Structure 1
């Protein structure tokens, strides 16, 4: 039954592809919840204040521009008011984007990190989506469910501020530190064959229609607006400014810099406690 559903859906989708040119834009609202267990000893009032400061980091808006073969996913820039606070590394500088080309099977993440701009380039390997038969309505579109389990390579910025890191460091003097286990991420996508483009938010793609909702770990992205034109030609340019690195090279750079920041943060905390005594 599932195989028959997949075949029929594929035939219908390719039929639409052959008949129409699709250019469009989709707006996504993104919300990420924070693991508050690492702050379990913090007073509730302090927790609320901290969450208010992190709001710009945890709640964002993105625009996905797409046509048949290319797409660009970019964070919308929100100007902060006077006296705004929060982590500067959580804010967009208007440059970051994720570019995908189905023709070249190439994905480029244009990102500025640690005061340097990178073009993280990787080959678009097919994602191992499992197609379901569940449906739901998102706006006027009928969406189908797909699930995926993948390695979680996102930066855990919250761990920089956790005191548990100090405990782990003390324990490492007794036993040899083991290689960290790979974290797995459960992903659920809702896509609509009514917009037959293999595009989606963030790094996700490869389904038989535009992804309108995505749940990946603690992050949910929901499409709130779609505009499509069959007449205009939407130009989506490949990013070219920045240092070109592979995903593996970028991961090493981020890991090294993150450890440096973590050591600096924890060192400042220790010096502060020493001054109090």
Structure 2
């Protein structure tokens, strides 16, 4: 790390213990999707544009992180949009998107609201500890100096939000010299996707705001995370309101049935297995998801 980076880190980290910091950080989140990975490759450009327009509300969002030295809550900015989230598509997309996320750094606790196919849950878990590696790169994000850090994050096999189309993988040739069929040729959509075991997370944090917090579940760096890049998603801070005269209260969410992360993942797996069995029972003809 550059010497100037070290000076900043030690200076702001040391002074943070004597400061009462509070504020709001506004983030723009954008996720990219390649429709060719999940649909018919012969889909027309007009059809792709129509689908992407319908998905826009789920792929481009604004979030607000309200924080102090020890606590934070991360919520999607409320907005009124006619027709947003209607129909089965909205229900399905929403089922894999977290609601409000509360973090308590002192208790190492995260509480996360989830609505999964019409049922509300409150996941009570510990904050994921990533092995951050702070690099030498830096850049300005607005008026703040941001320093680059990277980490590898393990992904749960049932996290469908991370799903991707299986690659055209070929097994070793068998004794007859034939190559195994590509798994994407299956009519079962669940056979055509996979969840990566791990992803690379890149964060840009600023020691000028010495709180070890960030958007969503991310934390653990010596400064507020201003930008995150992981998988197909980029989250960028667009505005910060620091130390307002009247700080907003940070209340832990209480909505939904409280479950552990392990219990919630088990519920997701059971529902996914049910949908898969229903699909196969209909001979791959599709239809509505089971209740």
> Does TM, scored on the shorter chain, surpass 0.5?
yes
Specify whether residues 267 and 159 from structure 1 end up closer, same or farther in structure 2 by C-alpha distance, changes over 3 A only: farther
Q: Is the Cα–Cα contact under 8 Å of residues 20 and 230 in structure 1 kept in the other structure?
A: no
Q: Is the Cα–Cα contact under 8 Å of residues 195 and 210 in structure 1 kept in the other structure?
A: yes
**Structure with the higher fraction of residues in helix conformation:** 1
Structure 1: tracts of 5 or more residues without a match = 173-179
| 1:210 and 2:224 aligned | yes
CA offsets 1:91-150 (integer angstroms, 9 cap, x no match): 59xx92111101111111111111111111112243211101101011101100000111
How far, CA to CA, are the matches of 2:26 and 2:271 in structure 1? 32
1:230 to partner: Cα distance: 6.1
CA offsets 1:44-71 (integer angstroms, 9 cap, x no match): 2211211111111111111100000001
The 3-state SS of whatever aligns with 1:42 is coil
Alignment of 1:89-168 (within 5 A): 89=91, 90-91=93-94, 96-153=99-156, 154-156=159-161, 167=186
Residue aligning to 2:49: 48
Q: RMSD of aligned C-alpha atoms? A: 3.2
How far, CA to CA, are the matches of 1:165 and 1:115 in structure 2? 30
How far, CA to CA, are the matches of 2:188 and 2:67 in structure 1? 46
1:19 to partner: Cα distance: 3.2
Residue aligning to 1:20: 19
Q: Is the Cα–Cα contact under 8 Å of residues 21 and 230 in structure 1 kept in the other structure?
A: no
The 3-state SS of whatever aligns with 1:96 is strand
Question: Which of 258-267 and 223-232 deviates more?
Answer: 258-267
| 1:66 and 2:80 aligned | no
CA offsets 1:56-91 (integer angstroms, 9 cap, x no match): 111111110000000111112332215876721335
Question: Which of 75-84 and 202-211 deviates more?
Answer: 75-84
Alignment of 1:234-249 (within 5 A): 234-249=248-263
The 3-state SS of whatever aligns with 2:134 is strand
How far, CA to CA, are the matches of 2:128 and 2:205 in structure 1? 19
How far, CA to CA, are the matches of 1:83 and 1:237 in structure 2? 27
